[in-house]
Amino acid sequence: MTSVNLRPEDVVALRHSVGGVVLEPGSEGYEAECATYNLTCGLRPAVVVGASSEHDRPTAVRGAPRPPRPGAG
């Protein structure tokens, strides 16, 4: 798994661009938003967006930093 370092200003920008909550590890509600039915594969994203509208999902995905591609550069 590739880790992504989010800058604090990226998280702030994401919070301003979606209507739902944007939670980081340790935030109240983070664990519940990350919950999955497959308990053998826990998710630990750098942030999680609790989408409140159909607009939030594509906005959150577009705003997510992309990990570097192998061989790119």
Read off the pLDDT of residues 12-56 as tens digits, 9 standing for 90 and up. 989 999 999 999 999 999 988 888 877 787 778 888 998 899 988
CA angle 58, 59, 60 (to 5 degrees): 90
Rounded Cα–Cα distance for residues 24 and 12 (Å): 11
- Whether 61 shows a pLDDT value over 80: the answer reads yes
pLDDT of residue 20: 92
* pTM across the whole model: 0.72
Distances (CA, A) of 9 to 6, 14, 18: 8, 9, 15
Number of C-alpha atoms within 13 angstroms, CB side, residue 57?
Answer: 2
Instruction: Give me the pLDDT at residue 66, please.
Output: 61
* pLDDT greater at residue 72 or residue 4: 4
